[in-house]
């Protein structure tokens, strides 16, 4: 199954951001720390206009710490880019973001000259949660489904920072199916655009390769099955996803498995790391029985 998902309002959101960025001093791009490349809107670089950019690696408490450190180093090699791992609900960590905003824009932040910041991010990375924490109250809608924010909002944080919220947007063409499946595994793609069994099998293939011990520990497996599909079945048996006669309900097992990975119940994992090559991506897709393969190295 090829994953394609690009709600119509997201095209308009990109147009709004392109226009708004002319008035912005600092761009804050909220990413999922577990998949910072795939959760980045790569079109943003086309409209950024060399403005300072802070890449917030949200959900840091769910990501593999060593891989997150590698991503911070990777991003900060780019001119004008800073990276900050945090948890959007953690007030002390978000205060560090405020300090960083003022550091990258030292000539503004005085009365009458606020630092004009814009928060962007694909759906379901925690953008609205971050805005609410920055504001100290509930201003932006928060939901567990993608695409809750539908139009830009202007928020005065009353600390020298003026914040512009924007609709969540996702890249328009998912040519990299490995990235698309990672987004689906993380919960960033709407449920109506994916097949839970396929995505669950893909996630199992990745876990077999990168975190086999976590799989065995969480689901009480003495040895891993040979195939990712069999891993999903083993997870289903462990979690009681059974139909009449003790047959595993694979769809429910895959959905439950993905829910567990998203909640961190199998441990702190990252779905990608800097330098992942196309041949590894192709191998994972092949293991999962998915024909669409990325054509080149993606990072």
The binding site comprises 58-61, 124-129, 168
Annotated binding site for GTP: 58-61, 124-129, 168
229: Cα separation from own chain's centroid: 24
Angle (CA) 175-120-299 rounded to 5° is 40
Q: Give the integer Cα–Cα distance in Å for 53 and 49.
A: 10
Render the burial of 79-111: b for 16+ CB within 10 Å, e for the rest: eebbbbbbbbeeeebbeebbebbbebbeebbee
Q: Cβ contacts of residue 206 below 8 Å, gap of 6+?
A: 182, 185, 271, 284
């Amino acid at each position: 199954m090829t994953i394609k998902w690009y709600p119509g309002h997201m095209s308009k959101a990109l147009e709004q951001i392109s226009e708004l960025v002319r008035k912005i001093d600092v761009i804050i791009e909220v990413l999922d720390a577990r998949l910072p490349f795939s959760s980045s809107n790569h079109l943003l670089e086309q409209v950024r206009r060399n403005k300072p950019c802070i890449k917030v690696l949200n959900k840091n408490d769910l990501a593999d710490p060593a891989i997150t450190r590698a991503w911070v180093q990777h991003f900060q090699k780019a001119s004008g880019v800073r990276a900050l791992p945090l948890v959007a609900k953690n007030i002390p960590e978000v205060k560090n973001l405020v300090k960083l905003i003022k550091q990258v824009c030292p000539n503004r932040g005085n009365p009458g000259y606020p630092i004009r910041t814009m928060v962007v991010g694909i759906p379901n990375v925690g953008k609205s949660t971050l805005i609410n924490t920055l504001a100290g109250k509930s201003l932006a809608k928060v939901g567990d489904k993608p695409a809750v924010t539908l139009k830009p909002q202007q928020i005065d944080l009353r600390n020298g920072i003026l914040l512009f919220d924007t609709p969540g947007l996702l890249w328009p063409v998912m040519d990299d199916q490995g990235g698309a499946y990672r987004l689906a595994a993380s919960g960033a793609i709407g449920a109506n655009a994916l097949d839970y069994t396929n995505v669950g099998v893909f996630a199992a293939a990745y876990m077999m390769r990168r975190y086999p011990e976590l799989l065995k520990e969480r689901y009480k497996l003495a040895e891993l099955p040979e195939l990712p599909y069999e891993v999903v079945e083993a997870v289903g048996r462990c979690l009681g996803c059974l139909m009449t006669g003790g047959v595993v309900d694979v769809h429910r097992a895959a959905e439950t498995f993905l829910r567990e990975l998203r909640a961190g119940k199998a441990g702190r994992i990252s779905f990608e790391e800097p330098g992942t090559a196309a041949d590894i991506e192709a191998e994972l897709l092949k293991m999962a029985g998915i024909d669409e393969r990325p054509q080149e190295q993606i990072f």
